[in-house]
Structure formats: C-alpha cells, structure tokens
C-alpha cells in the first residue's frame, strides 16, 4: 500500500520510512505542510501519517484541505500536541486516528494495519480466497496451510488484489499503490507479475482475472 509520511523531524522520519518500507509499503516522505499539500493533490495515497507542527503550513490545514476535496485517503495524526482539545479538533476535521508522541512502535504498526484494513473495507484480520489465506497482521500468504513465499513486487500486487477481492483494481491504482515517487513500474511489468501470480494461484483454486483495458481482480466466486 502507498503511504505518505509528513514529518519534519529528520531522525524520526528516517526511522518510520525504514519501518514502513520494511513492511512492504511504498513510502514517500515530505517535511513541510506546503509540500505535503502539493503532493497529496498530485498523487494517490492509501494512508497519510501527518504531523501537526510543520513548517509553512500546519498539519490541520493540510487535513482540512484533504477533506474539503473529499480525498479518500486515511489520515493518522502523529504529533506531540496531545490535549483533549487538539484530539477533538483533529478528529472532527476528518482524521481517522490520532497518536501522540512519544509512542510505541508496535502500537504504531498495529494502527497502520488497522487503518489500511479499514481503507479496504475489511474488518477481519484475514482474507481467504480458495485455498489461499492472507494474514493481514503478519502480512503473509499461505496456500493450503503452507507458507507462500513471493518476490516483493508479486507479494505487493497480490496483497492489493486480495484486500479488494472481487473488485477490479485499475492499473493506475496498482502503479500508485505499489511505488513511491522514486520508483517506476510499467504496464508490461504489472502484466508479468500478474501472469506469474496466475500460475502460482491456479493450483490452489484462486483465479486472477484480467479486466481488459482496465486492470485485474481476484475472482471470489471460485
């Protein structure tokens, strides 16, 4: 999934980028509010982790702009401003979660997982199609009870399709969800990943379909 981190503390930002990227997410980072505003308008994100005390534009102004534009990205406020009034204001402006610094990394990771599940319309921590199970907490696949080890890009594509199982995921959404601004992904590359996954999944009763000219989907009717 694609995450934007808006944080002006360089050491904290570096650590969180490594943490999120290490979990398989495509992560972009910006250190000021104006830069965040411009990037959010131009790009699609599944989750924005947003500090409030930012140079150039306060984080609450960034959040207000997102919700005024009806941007569907989930927003987690991550800030040192922890008074009840601050929390209420942030949540009332449309934040999905509010976390106060300093914080426990394990709790941060759990909240990120929860928000991404909610973004995909999922309540359970597992998604099963045919003989393949996605454990959303561990972010691991198993096939008929055995671990299904996949290269990073194939894993990211299959996770995206499983979290939206039964729905067509457009190619441009796949590209934006799987890559940060520093990366590139072509149509041909996506087709190759989909083809490899199709061969891996078929023996386990899972069918990855192509919606011609649009994208891909996991057939839940099997």
**84 and 168 together in one domain:** no
In this predicted structure, what is the pLDDT of residue 213? 86
Band of residue 80 on the pLDDT scale cut at 50, 70, 90: very high
> Among the three residues 119, 152, 175, which one is the final residue of a domain in this structure?
119
Q: Give the residue, 100 or 138, on which the prediction is more confident.
A: 100
Report the pLDDT value the prediction gives residue 220, as an integer from 0 to 100: 78
- The verdict on 59 and 80 lying in the same domain is yes
| Total domain count, the chain | 2
User: Mean pLDDT over residues 87-111, rounded?
Assistant: 95
Residues of the chain with pLDDT > 90, as a percent, come to 69
CATH code assigned at 32: 3.40.50.2300
The reported pLDDT for the residue numbered 152 is 85
Q: Specify the CATH number for the domain of residue 175.
A: 1.10.10.10
Q: Give percent of the chain above pLDDT 70.
A: 99
53-to-6, 59, 74, 86, 92 alpha-carbon distances in Å:
10, 6, 19, 12, 18
Q: Structural domain of residue 136, as residue ranges?
A: 126-218
Looking at the structure, tell me whether residues 25 and 100 fall in a common domain: yes
The answer to whether 12 touches 51, Cβ cutoff 8 Å, is no
Residues 6+ apart with CB under 8 A from 119: 1, 46, 47, 72, 73, 74
CA–CA distance, 206 with 155 (Å, rounded to integer):
15
Give burial (CB, 10 Å; 0-12/13-18/19+) of 187: exposed
Q: What is the pLDDT of residues 140-171, one digit of tens each?
A: 899 988 999 898 889 989 999 998 888 999 98
DSSP category for residue 18: H
Q: Which region among 56-60, 95-99, 134-138 has the lowest average model confidence (pLDDT)?
A: 134-138
Distance CA 2, CA 123 (A): 20
Q: How confident is the model at residue 221 (pLDDT cuts 50, 70, 90)?
A: low
pLDDT in tens, 198-219: 999 999 999 999 998 899 999 8
Tokens representing 33? 């509010």
pLDDT score recorded for residue 24:
81
Question: Whole-model pTM?
Answer: 0.77
How far is the CA of 38 from the CAs of 66, 100, 187, 198, in angstroms?
11, 25, 26, 37
- What confidence score (pLDDT) does residue 186 get? 84
């Amino acid at each position: 999934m694609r995450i934007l981190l808006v944080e002006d503390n360089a050491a904290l930002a570096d650590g969180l980028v490594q943490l999120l990227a290490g979990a398989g997410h495509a992560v972009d980072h910006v250190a000021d509010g104006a830069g965040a505003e411009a990037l959010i308008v131009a790009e699609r994100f599944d989750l924005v982790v947003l500090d409030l005390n930012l140079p150039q534009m306060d984080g609450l102004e960034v959040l207000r702009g997102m919700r005024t534009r009806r941007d569907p990205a989930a927003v987690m406020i991550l800030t040192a401003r922890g008074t009840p009034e601050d929390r209420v204001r942030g949540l009332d402006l449309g934040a999905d979660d509010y976390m106060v610094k300093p914080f426990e990394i394990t709790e941060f990771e759990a909240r990120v997982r929860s928000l991404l599940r909610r973004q995909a319309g999922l309540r359970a921590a597992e998604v099963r199609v045919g003989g393949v199970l996605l454990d959303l907490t561990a972010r691991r696949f198993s096939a008929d009870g055995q671990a299904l080890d996949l290269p990073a890009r194939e894993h990211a594509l299959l996770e995206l399709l499983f979290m939206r199982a039964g729905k067509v995921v457009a190619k441009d959404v796949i590209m934006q969800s799987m890559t940060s601004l520093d990366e590139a992904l072509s149509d041909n590359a996506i087709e190759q990943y989909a083809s490899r996954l199709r061969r891996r999944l078929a023996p386990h009763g899972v069918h990855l379909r192509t919606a011609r000219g649009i994208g891909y989907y996991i057939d839940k009717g099997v």
